[in-house]
Structure 1
């Protein structure tokens, strides 16, 4: 089946397109700038067409021979987003009708209540749904509330508020009921909707297994993330407008996005029906806690590189992608140092693989010992373990208060910290060959903080940490250039400088 995906550079579209391909569909992505999809891992598996939903003349090529068209774009964050989205939906529907598209699928928001105050965000989503449903193309509208997954703006607001504020005063909307849904379950419904019978032209509420207040969501997020219970007091005078500014000040979510999302929380957002199950069987809907655990666990307990790359597992949709906004995916502190070395990559790698234990860390040993003593006082393991082999490392081995998490001989060494920390930490070395007899060292210290204590820890150690790791990178590079010779051809590390 040939599918057209709009919004492929966005949160849902960027996760849907490769999964449609995996399901055996031919996928075409419509984007205003093809360069934005040039570097995604699945770029070679899809057809990319440039066009703009605000310009009907650019759409015929995108819709040619398309059977199923996904409308996943929105202009949230722009002052006139309601007008823009309405016109985009009208142009999308007209192009789909002209091309003979068999089905339109739209991911919208909860149905706003009749009468009274309505948020502009939900009002716009409902208007787009009406435009598409009123077209001559059978349309399925999936109405979801808060989507749980790294990169979802609603989830990022929840993440940052809970992690950064152990004590908070919140607006009264924190007592409104919400039915969140895991991003993997949203994608399941989106993909399966392509096979809906042609007579189906309607909206469906979709949600997870739990109905919670926003306050309960924050407390349960804290528990899953290993944080202390949050002290939260609802305060009546906090209007949605004031709340949006407050969210903007506390979190990196842009205020222009936070404002319409916060305003939408004045309404309860629960599924009033589950009719979609008549057409699409549920595949084990995730509850809230499990959805959060999936969104956080792959960053905290697995290969840290999943922050910049995607995986193929069913739950991988909850992980961050390179195309996600900079403010998504949680706070991750990275101190990166680079050094070009006038020595072969093999010589540089020998030095990298020998770090720790009796060889030291190529920087003042007293600083490392002091950190080890601090860890012992806190009940940790300190620096007493050393390393088993002073020349070779293997995955799973201990190196002082680190554990070898990954080794790619000649290229990559990643160590995971096992000292007591308010978060997770890694030390990573990469070696690249950049020319005859020349190589490059890329050294990264990575810290994923846990709560406010983790943020304070990183801020507090930076004045001491930065010069130490800079010195380590310089001295590793120098040792690769002028090693002291030991047995055979192996370079021994110099005395830490």
Structure 2
């Protein structure tokens, strides 16, 4: 075990299974904020150490299929959150889910746990289990097993969860962004009641303090009921994409749909297949009894458009998300997390260069901070000039803005057709593109020390978040020139630093 002491004061003692997953990783800080103590259990607990809250929780290695490990993990626990699901692990995921739920239920009862809380899937009213998709059938069965464990259990049933990293939301994101014209299966006409991830977390945290005699299922959803096609069109509107043309056809079966989703999106087929099979069912809440125990405040639950805006906030505010940049930390449950899968958070193309240079960090930093304006961009001047002319023809600023100061930069400075987004003197310069293009772009230049040799190391990243299909086409159209432009920039910057004659003093570390 690692982390805080079991005997620490305050709140309930909560166990979170699946803390490396989408909901679990976002639930932990919410429980801490509510004053509870948290123990996390997972097969790969080392994945949790990247979180800023890792030193405030107890981290345990364990598997929900291992009775001994779960018995030890559940000892002394008041509330256990069951947030694991075998979706994507193969054809036998239903059996795996069944065995895991029984193990946790039995061990929770033996350990004297006061409450189990499980997040399952919203199921259609009146549909026999045999007619449900395997995904929804398994979610329902797990809830029934936990309810029968003898431990008071709250089963929250949700449909599509709106937040960056949710598999259902990522399917919606990629389908809408990448396809301006779509031939879709008939399930796009199915009615769905989506819910914002922040409302899901609010209900989960509230369930920790339910009365002991409450053991039942609760339907949770947002205020909007809509079809999947309406969700895609409203996504396009919130993301400021052109209106999507969507043509449903009855010939695409759920199996063919999953291959179609796998072709268009990076969501793995093993996950896309059971999710698309579930979309043929209408999933609408039949009650909202949870509000009797976890009251809704103003604007709660969050409307669909507001939930979308939060999920897209990092991009719309031109911020590089956590998994895109080590300089940022997650700010809201709808933001990406370091433990999210690579396909979560939207498309981001990256060109990364690293070189070691025989120069002091101070010398390298002076070259970096002097970039642009009269000094140029250290690679293929004609290409930069042509890009500037094209930008002016499109109504942009081009290269005519130059620099405010010949030697120093500060946050907010215009730099040709870039804007200074972040400066850590002596260490980091991040520029955000203001040229006309179908997407958002950043250029990040960093000074580091090589841990093995102690030599100065230059790191350079160009990042591009495409907007719609045109954005993807734009990136791949210029990709053949990256070695010439970005590779040449890296070589020439370190070359210029190597010719500097400067003392080894590093500029102050305080951000400016």
Q: Take 1:294 and 1:489, find their aligned partners in 2: how far apart are those partners?
A: 44
* Partner residue in 2 for 1:17: 28
Q: Take 1:324 and 1:123, find their aligned partners in 2: how far apart are those partners?
A: 25
Q: Take 1:312 and 1:387, find their aligned partners in 2: how far apart are those partners?
A: 32
Deviation of the 1:298 alpha carbon: 1.4
Query: Is 1:454–2:471 an aligned residue pair?
Result: yes
Could you tell me which runs of 5 or more consecutive residues in structure 1 were left unpaired when the two chains were aligned: 491-497
Deviation of the 1:483 alpha carbon: 3.0
Name which of 146, 169, 177 aligns with 1:155: 169
Q: Greater shift after overlay, 434-443 or 15-24?
A: 434-443
Q: Secondary structure at the match of 1:143?
A: strand
Report the CA distance shift for 1:372/1:484 in structure 2 as closer, same or farther (over 3 A). Answer: farther
Report the CA distance shift for 1:82/1:353 in structure 2 as closer, same or farther (over 3 A). Answer: same
* Partner residue in 2 for 1:90: 102
Deviation of the 1:450 alpha carbon: 0.3
* Partner residue in 2 for 1:443: 460
Report the CA distance shift for 1:366/1:289 in structure 2 as closer, same or farther (over 3 A). Answer: same
* Partner residue in 2 for 1:387: 403
Report the CA distance shift for 1:55/1:437 in structure 2 as closer, same or farther (over 3 A). Answer: closer
* Partner residue in 1 for 2:227: 213
Report the CA distance shift for 1:465/1:398 in structure 2 as closer, same or farther (over 3 A). Answer: same
> How many residues were matched structurally?
486
Could you tell me which runs of 5 or more consecutive residues in structure 2 were left unpaired when the two chains were aligned: 1-11, 506-512
Name which of 276, 299, 319 aligns with 1:303: 319
Query: Is 1:483–2:500 an aligned residue pair?
Result: yes
Query: Is 1:200–2:246 an aligned residue pair?
Result: no
Q: Take 1:483 and 1:428, find their aligned partners in 2: how far apart are those partners?
A: 22
Q: Take 1:106 and 1:455, find their aligned partners in 2: how far apart are those partners?
A: 39
Deviation of the 1:409 alpha carbon: 0.7
Aligned partners of 1:343 and 1:437 also within 8 Å: no
Q: Take 1:452 and 1:322, find their aligned partners in 2: how far apart are those partners?
A: 26
Q: Take 1:149 and 1:419, find their aligned partners in 2: how far apart are those partners?
A: 29
Aligned partners of 1:209 and 1:286 also within 8 Å: yes
Aligned partners of 1:345 and 1:437 also within 8 Å: no
Deviations 1:261-289 (A, max 9, x none): 00111111111111111110114321111
Aligned partners of 2:357 and 2:498 also within 8 Å: yes
Q: Take 1:249 and 1:104, find their aligned partners in 2: how far apart are those partners?
A: 38
Q: Take 1:200 and 1:376, find their aligned partners in 2: how far apart are those partners?
A: 65
Q: Take 1:489 and 1:27, find their aligned partners in 2: how far apart are those partners?
A: 46
Q: Take 2:294 and 2:329, find their aligned partners in 1: how far apart are those partners?
A: 25
Query: Is 1:74–2:90 an aligned residue pair?
Result: no
Report the CA distance shift for 1:306/1:52 in structure 2 as closer, same or farther (over 3 A). Answer: closer
Q: Secondary structure at the match of 2:218?
A: strand
Deviation of the 1:414 alpha carbon: 0.6
Deviation of the 1:21 alpha carbon: 1.7
Q: Greater shift after overlay, 225-234 or 294-303?
A: 294-303
Aligned partners of 1:179 and 1:269 also within 8 Å: yes
Give the TM-score taking structure 2 as reference length: 0.92
CA RMSD of aligned residues (A): 1.8
Deviation of the 1:291 alpha carbon: 0.9
Q: Take 1:264 and 1:320, find their aligned partners in 2: how far apart are those partners?
A: 25
